[in-house]
Structure 1
Amino acid sequence: MIAQLRAIVRADSPSHIAIGRLGVSALGLLSAPIVARAIGPSGRGETAATIALAYIVPVLLGMGVPLELRRLAATTDVTAALRAARRLGLLTILPATAVAVALYASLFSDFGQAARLVASLNVALCPLMLSWTLDLSVLVARGRFRNVLVLQLTQPSIYLLAIVVLWVTHTASTATVLASNLVGTAATCIAGLFMTRVKFRGERSSYGSLLRGGVKFAGSSVSEIASNKLDQVLVLPLIGSVGAGLYAVAVTVASVPLAFGQALGASYFTPIARASGTERRELQTRSVRAGIAMGLMTCPPLGLIAWVGIPVVFGKEFTSAVPVAGICLAGSVALVTNFVCSMALAASGQGVRMTVSQVTALAVAIGALLVLGPAWGAKGAATASSIGYFVLMSMLLLSLRMSPLAIAPRPRDFKEAIRQLVRGER
């Protein structure tokens, strides 16, 4: 057993992505109760909404280029394309600033003055996140999974360290917590530049060709991040900052299984991109069954842990988040599968189908949230998000043209999912 664990650590395998994502989730679970106890449910709701926007805006302005870059890197030398993508990323500072100004005057208007300014700055500097997202795509496609692990852990590690200092020194506030998030993002940007080591000057790909390839994935990328983050923005005005805080805690817990979905999706991405015909079809089917199996293995146990753990870790005032987390975890089974399905489509260059699926599911989820959120509070928001995840799962399976019988997990698929995380498919 020890020898096997050593082999996993030494090998540059997709398990490093799972370890990294689990590390991100663990760091999030450590930081979330500190923030919750330091600034309360209201402050937790405000910070969750702002951080969600800091993820959504760069994806929106990225125009699908990170996914196109990953596709190119799986089969070709992507140096020139990465150089062009970085230059395009710098230009997003202008629209990002415009979005930040609009949010300053609207959604952030009820924040304290300092928090309002720092929240706007988190959005305006979104090119920092876009930069390391580009680098992450290249590292995944090249199979440099240990680098991916380090890059994944950089931001949440620095964020956790900063808020611990704030908590101990009694200086935690919405503004200082958001400033900590921004510092972590800047450090991750620098780390990504160091890992890929592509100079800003030099031969570059055509901006037009890169954007044309990215546009096919743009709608899907935006809809995917919106499905996972937009709800934390919308719940703030719909159910109030306290309800938003409870919902944010539940989502933090329910997002843990996604680590395995991201690792599985990454491990199958390059093999699917390089395959064709019957071989590609077989790999797609195997990846989807492994994704469903992984969701079924991880979500139910986590539900039991959340039932006991949330009141202990976050405090009694967050006890109401327990049933909310249960509802979210039901949707997480689909969430894990959805990421694997999306990567199977992206690797096959089927960006349009991804976009249609993501947009349709997002529309359903938002509609459900507008109805169920005000009526049922945090539970309604959780129900709406889970409905959206299952609608998306159905749409993605239709896009892959897979029947329920074909993707029903067999006993061997549970072993396959674990094997794939450890060794990968090359």
Structure 2
Amino acid sequence: MAADRMTIGRRDHLLNAVASLLVPAASLLSAPLLARALGPTARGEFTVEQSLILTASSLFGLGISDIVATRWQAFSARHRLRLAYLNVGSALVFSGAGLVYLASAVSPSVLVMGLCLIAGGVFAAALAERGIALSRDDLRGVAAEKLLVVTSRLALTVMAFAFGVLDLTVALVTLVLPQCVGLAYLRVRRWQAQKAASFRPCTAGLGGRLDWWTVLGGSGGVLLVNGIPLVALAAIGPTEVGYFSVCILIAEVFTLVAKPFRDATFTSPYASDWSKLRRLTWSTLAVLVGIGLLASAVMWFAVPLVFGSDFVPAVPAAYVMIIAGVLKGWGYQLNGALTVKGDHRVRAVSTYSAVVVNVLLLFLFAAGGAAGAALACTLAYAVMAGWSAVSLFVSSPKKPEDTTP
């Protein structure tokens, strides 16, 4: 019954690259609409709820997605069912625990809590479904799902804003509903592939074991990016988190700028040549610093212009977060270079060290509100980038691993 796996062409890679870039770009486009419609306090609550959903679904979901992407076709039906229970079950447990914490902090409505709980399971299932699609080389399906989700989410947000109904509950619906559609799309493609027997068992990839340092590095990144607003809620309150959400978006811009450089890191010209990889990494920093200087010149009027006059108090924090954005973007590139070198342990340790520093400093600088939170993030990203840079350039400046088969 087994047949050849799907063929991946250049168009598939291009489509996936475009879709991957559109995901954060669409978030940046919808953020001003959410800020203007919700105001600082409700925007802060939405940021925390979104953080809860993404953290709960990704903490184990990313590792499980890696597992199924490389070994799904070799698993028995019982083992597949066990993985599904672990994936969705862990997300629901984390979501439930987070909602208990959230209820004590901001008292969300029952409907909002229900949406968050459902979203945790749906997002986790979608992560696993993408891994299953990749196990049969269905890169086109994964890219199409990303485009479907991101365009429908942006369209729903724009329509809700235009009709004046974009409140906290509707904002969560615009987050969850498109992902439900994307999950259904991937499930239909899997059913069609199984019906046509158009794939064979996967034999490439990680083999019989999973590199848990890689998984830990990914989960550390999840906590550092998505988990911090949960801690910030306890430290500075929902209104200041609303101002801080502007800072998070600013840092995301720098990650978006660094993404093409990081993607290039894994291509053969750089992955096999240490001197080229080193130049690429330093070039990334130079570009990020240049973007940071440009941002510094316009930030004082850009924040109220884009997000509304209610967010003027976020301007000082935004200036601090420019430095954090540069460090975050460079750390993103450095972690890619460490992965190419095979230093997965360093990546995991650097990200978890940054998480610990960030959490501690959030409470230490709580009196500073959003600006204090931005300073905590800046120092945490400095720890991550500094640790990674020392390991890459000083401690063991060896050549990248030869990944050519």
Unaligned 5+ runs, structure 1: 1-9, 73-77, 407-426
Q: Map residues 202-281 of structure 1 onto 2, 5 A cutoff.
A: 204=201, 212-271=209-268, 275=272, 279=273, 281=274
Please name the residue that 1:340 is paired with. 333
Please name the residue that 1:179 is paired with. 173
Structure 2 residue 398 is matched with structure 1 residue 395: no
Pick closer, same or farther for the CA change 1:124–1:25 going to 2, 3 Å: closer
**Distance in 1, Cα, partners of 2:344 & 2:161:** 44
Unaligned 5+ runs, structure 2: 1-8, 399-405
**Distance in 2, Cα, partners of 1:300 & 1:357:** 26
Q: Which moved more, 1:378-387 or 1:173-182?
A: 173-182
**Distance in 1, Cα, partners of 2:41 & 2:350:** 34
Please name the residue that 1:170 is paired with. 164
Q: Which moved more, 1:385-394 or 1:353-362?
A: 353-362
Pick closer, same or farther for the CA change 1:25–1:266 going to 2, 3 Å: same
Read off the aligned partner of 2:50 and give its amino acid letter: I
Please name the residue that 1:156 is paired with. 150
Please give the secondary structure, in 1, of the residue aligned with 2:166: coil
Please name the residue that 2:367 is paired with. 375
Q: Which moved more, 1:233-242 or 1:340-349?
A: 340-349
Read off the aligned partner of 1:171 and give its amino acid letter: V
**Distance in 2, Cα, partners of 1:338 & 1:387:** 12
Selected match of 2:357 from 360, 364, 377: 364
**Distance in 1, Cα, partners of 2:323 & 2:221:** 18
User: How many equivalent pairs are there?
Assistant: 381
**Distance in 2, Cα, partners of 1:301 & 1:18:** 26
**Conserved in 1, the CA contact under 8 Å of 2:338 and 2:344?**
yes
Structure 2 residue 95 is matched with structure 1 residue 100: yes
Please name the residue that 1:120 is paired with. 117
The offset of 1:15, in angstroms, is: 8.4
Percent of aligned positions that are identical: 21
Please name the residue that 2:33 is paired with. 34
**Conserved in 1, the CA contact under 8 Å of 2:270 and 2:277?**
no
RMSD: 3.8
**Conserved in 1, the CA contact under 8 Å of 2:52 and 2:98?**
no
**Conserved in 2, the CA contact under 8 Å of 1:258 and 1:335?**
yes
Please name the residue that 1:4 is paired with. none
**Conserved in 1, the CA contact under 8 Å of 2:115 and 2:172?**
yes
Read off the aligned partner of 2:325 and give its amino acid letter: S
The offset of 1:271, in angstroms, is: 2.5
**Distance in 1, Cα, partners of 2:381 & 2:94:** 27
Q: Which moved more, 1:86-95 or 1:358-367?
A: 86-95
**Distance in 2, Cα, partners of 1:147 & 1:261:** 25
Pick closer, same or farther for the CA change 1:167–1:400 going to 2, 3 Å: same
The offset of 1:192, in angstroms, is: 5.7
The offset of 1:12, in angstroms, is: 5.7
Please give the secondary structure, in 2, of the residue aligned with 1:366: helix
Please name the residue that 2:43 is paired with. 44
Please give the secondary structure, in 1, of the residue aligned with 2:253: coil
Pick closer, same or farther for the CA change 1:267–1:136 going to 2, 3 Å: farther
Pick closer, same or farther for the CA change 1:107–1:398 going to 2, 3 Å: same
**Conserved in 2, the CA contact under 8 Å of 1:27 and 1:156?**
yes
TM-score, reference length from structure 1: 0.76
The offset of 1:380, in angstroms, is: 0.4
**Conserved in 2, the CA contact under 8 Å of 1:361 and 1:392?**
yes
Pick closer, same or farther for the CA change 1:65–1:99 going to 2, 3 Å: closer
Please give the secondary structure, in 2, of the residue aligned with 1:171: coil
TM-score, reference length from structure 2: 0.80
Pick closer, same or farther for the CA change 1:69–1:94 going to 2, 3 Å: closer
